[in-house]
Amino acid sequence: MLLSQGLEASLFGLLGLLIGSFLNVVIYRLPVMLQAQWQAECDELQGKTLPEGPAFNLMVPRSRCQKCTHQLSWYENIPLLSYVMLRGQCSQCKIPISLRYPLVELATGILFFYSGWHWGTPASALAWCGFAATLLALAMIDWDTTLLPDALTLPLLWAGLIAAALNLTPVGLAESLWGAVGGYMSLWLVYWAFKLVTGKEGMGFGDFKLFAALGAWFGWQALIPIILMASVIGAAIGI
């Protein structure tokens, strides 16, 4: 039993390494794509007509060195191993590769391994792997840009509700729905209370949607512990 459980968890861990490599692409490219989209909308409102640039999305162009533009070969994109084989530097210009890339891959692999080990069925494990991957991408994008993109928070919210409806999470659908509503409204009220008192915005609307998503996955009972945990983590980072 433990052997088969360990094998299944290991397969999830390997999948996590691959997904972690893709998450690095999402973390870097999604904010750039959103900025380009916003700029295009502003230009359109101002009546500007600009030539369309080369395609840039999560699939194209292929990954390349940001300094010398060397296009990475398949063997330079193997999670963790490529970083070790390349000794943490570009094969052409020798500029150091950020340690964050293998750390994101490793973290995703560990989270997927834990999900495969902890949850009783492959379907539940896959659901929680998706949750973990999305949350990790959101955390890194938020760290880099202070943005929590709708392209990630809203699918995470709906996925939590669907997972609850399919009994893939420990909470029922009613708890999930109340968690989503309570998560959104609680931060919405805090936002407006803070703005009325100080005249400043204490958080963005992305925080409301993320908290709603967490409520959908963990249920309304978990909202207060999540707020306390987030406050402690925020204070620790601030220090």
C-alpha 105/C-alpha 135 separation (Å) is 14
Q: What is the pLDDT of residues 136-170, one digit of tens each?
A: 999 999 999 999 999 999 999 999 999 999 999 99
Instruction: Indicate the pLDDT class of residue 204, thresholds 50, 70 and 90.
Output: confident
The yes-or-no verdict on residue 53 having pLDDT over 70 is yes
Output the pLDDT for position 237.
66
Q: Which residues contact 181 (CB under 8 A, 6 or more apart)?
A: 212, 215
Domain spans in the chain, listed from the N-terminal domain onward: 1-120, 148-239
Q: Which residues contact 88 (CB under 8 A, 6 or more apart)?
A: 96, 97, 99
C-alpha 101/C-alpha 78 separation (Å) is 11
Quote the pTM value. 0.92
Residue 147 DSSP symbol: -
Q: What is the pLDDT of residues 96-140, one digit of tens each?
A: 999 999 999 999 999 999 999 999 789 999 999 999 999 999 999
Q: What is the mean pLDDT of residues 52-77?
A: 88
| Token pair for 83 | 């970083």
Q: How many helices (H) and strands (E) does the chain have?
A: 8, 0
C-alpha 39/C-alpha 51 separation (Å) is 13
